Structure 1
């Protein structure tokens, strides 16, 4: 069987994927340090952000879908947030068992405080980068995410 090679684009994308894995780890570590004083972690902050970004209260499964995360992991973190009074649950009129996750005032204050800490951090991180370059990377990431979400994930055996 002949050995196949990566295309030049495939080679470049492989390197980018490895860098994205490293970047994701570094972002979570940096975020954890940034919001630790607020009693948050990056994962908790991310879920609070998904709740804030939603137009209306959503069940955990929908939050997980929006985040591209496993429902069980999101449920565990939402339960921790509820225990700490940052979110509460409301009855879902459309589904008896899938309660809606609602941000409390305490949760909103924690999220807003995290965002105030993030502001100078993200500005320093972006220093020296062009908006055009950032937008180009964002388009590539969005395209790749869309392909994977839509099931365009190529069969590696093909």
Structure 2
């Protein structure tokens, strides 16, 4: 029997993290479909929703900062920002730290749209159940964070 309080060997860790990856994909895809259905009233794409949520959480950011935070290409983020600008959900403002890279911030309409989306998502996530404890969720967040950090050395597109 394995002592669950001790760190795993690299091979055992790789095997267990493969199990996590095998679950993350389907969870992400199912959540994405639910999000897409829930975004219908606002007409937001999943990409625009991600930009709005990031700005809602972190405040104004540059496009490169958003790309790094979401581990996606700057070009994709720029397309999502352009879409959001056209819809009046975000606006570009001068960046005192970098003249050529403006800050993107939510407008009042963008704040209202993402708040409505997040409220609906929160209601859906309340239904997850499973008797999960705060410690279990914290462990899950820690594991996924370690997996993400461990992949940071891989070249981005």
TM-score (norm 2): 0.83
Q: Which residue of 2 aligns with 1:93?
A: 96
Q: Report Cα offsets for 1:47-99 as digits up to 9, x if no partner.
A: 111111224x2211111111221111111001000000000111223333212
Task: Report which structure shows greater RCO (CA 8 Å, sep ≥6).
Answer: 2
1:109-154 C-alpha deviation (Å, 9 max, x unpaired):
00111122112111102453333222211111111112222x2x6x
Gapped regions of structure 2 (runs ≥ 5):
1-9
Runs of 4+ in structure 1 deviating by more than 3 angstroms, as ranges, are none
Cα deviation 1:8-56 (Å, max 9, x = unaligned): 332222222122122211111111111211111332222111111224x
**After superposition, where does 1:45-56 map in structure 2 within 5 Å?**
45-55=49-59
- Equivalent residue number for residue 23 of structure 1: 27
Give the TM-score normalised by structure 1.
Answer: 0.82
CA RMSD of aligned residues (A): 1.8
Q: Which residue of 2 aligns with 1:41?
A: 45
- Name the CA distance, whole Å, in 2 between partners of 1:136 and 1:37: 34
Which of the pair is proportionally richer in helix?
1
